[in-house]
Amino acid sequence: MRRRRFWPWFWLALGAIYFFVPLLATGEFSLRAQRDAFSLLAYQRVLQDNQFISSFLFSLRMGILTILFGVLLIVPTTYWVHLRLPRLRPLVELLTLLPFVIPVIVLVFGLIRTYSSPPFRMTTTPATTDILLIGGYMVISLPYLYRSVDVGLRAMDVRSLTEAAQSLGAGWGTILFRVIMPNLRTAVLTGALLTLAIVIGELTLAQYLARPAFGPYMALLGQNRAYEPAALAIMSFGMTWAAMGLIYFLTRGQQAQIGGGH
């Protein structure tokens, strides 16, 4: 009995040490900006930096646009594959995994090569470059968004729900926005927050497209400062946990629905 109790706790403790020691060390280090005393000086400096705010807001905006267009692309496509082309599912799954195989650096050079010369000259103004950036982000976040939507669709009887709505007189728009989307709330939210996390931290795309995003700012800070990057790391960790808490809070009701509906 005792033996069986001991080992699970041992592994749990080992895991906890593995995760929390670096975090605690980083946290401790971030408080050491002032000599001989703990202080929030590093945090203060980060938050006072105008570039921090502006680059964060820029990435947030890009992230939200990526989510918007990503959802509009992925949800109807995945829904259609589930409903009418179930045999294509393995192929679509493979396609959505490509961003894992193709390095972002290849993607960004490809984008620049294709869209910096006629007939598509898109790298000349910030606005058109942002379109390229969002396109690139959509590709990078594709596996995550697709997976969550796919899992969400698997959890419901897509065909029967569609046919029930059709027999009641609903057209495709009504079915998609009043029946399918509301039941994908958890899935879309999960995918959206993952996408946001990826976009906020992304470095390569924004760097090579020369846009003032949060990723390049963090990299720059990391190269030039000592205590501020640690403070940033702790802050982004906190934001991630806040986002996860948000998912949990917003989807509590729906988990029960999906769990109990079958």
Partner 1 sequence: MAYLELHNLSKTFGGSGAVVDFDLAVERGEFVSFLGPSGCGKTTTLRMIAGFELPTSGQVTLDGKDLTTKPPNQRNVGMVFQSYALFPNMTVAKNVGFGLKVRGRPKDEVEGRVKEMLELIKMSHLEKRFPYQLSGGQQQRVALARALAIQPHVLLLDEPLSALDAKIRVELRAEIRRIQRELQITTVYVTHDQEEALSISDRVVVMNAGRMEQVGQPFEIYNFPRTEFVAGFVGTLNQLRVTVVEAASGRVAFADQSFLTSGPLEAGKGETVLAMLRPEELHFGVAPGENQLDGKVESVNFLGSLVRIQLSVGPAKVTLDALNERRLNLPRVGEMQTISFPPHAVWVMPAA
Contact footprint for partner 1 (CB under 8 A): 156-157, 160-161, 163-171, 174, 179, 182-183, 185, 256-261
Q: Is 196 exposed, middle or buried (0-12, 13-18, 19+ CB in 10 A)?
A: buried
In whole angstroms, the minimum distance from the beta carbon of 208 to partner 1 comes to: 42
Query: Is 92 or 161 the residue whose CB approaches partner 1 more closely?
Result: 161
Residue 196's nearest CA partner among 183, 215, 177, 182 is: 215
Query: Is 141 or 183 the residue whose CB approaches partner 1 more closely?
Result: 183
Query: Is 59 or 183 the residue whose CB approaches partner 1 more closely?
Result: 183
Query: Is 118 or 169 the residue whose CB approaches partner 1 more closely?
Result: 169
Give residue for tokens 């946990």: 241
In whole angstroms, the minimum distance from the beta carbon of 93 to partner 1 comes to: 24
Query: Is 118 or 259 the residue whose CB approaches partner 1 more closely?
Result: 259
Query: Is 28 or 157 the residue whose CB approaches partner 1 more closely?
Result: 157
Residue 67 makes CB contacts below 8 A (sequence gap 6+) with 192, 195, 196
In whole angstroms, the minimum distance from the beta carbon of 6 to partner 1 comes to: 41
In whole angstroms, the minimum distance from the beta carbon of 256 to partner 1 comes to: 7
In whole angstroms, the minimum distance from the beta carbon of 174 to partner 1 comes to: 6
User: Could you tell me the end-to-end alpha-carbon distance of the chain, in angstroms, rounded to an integer?
Assistant: 38
Q: How far apart are CA 190 and CA 27, in angstroms?
A: 27
- Would you say 212 and 55 are in contact if contact means Cβ atoms under 8 Å apart? yes
In whole angstroms, the minimum distance from the beta carbon of 244 to partner 1 comes to: 23
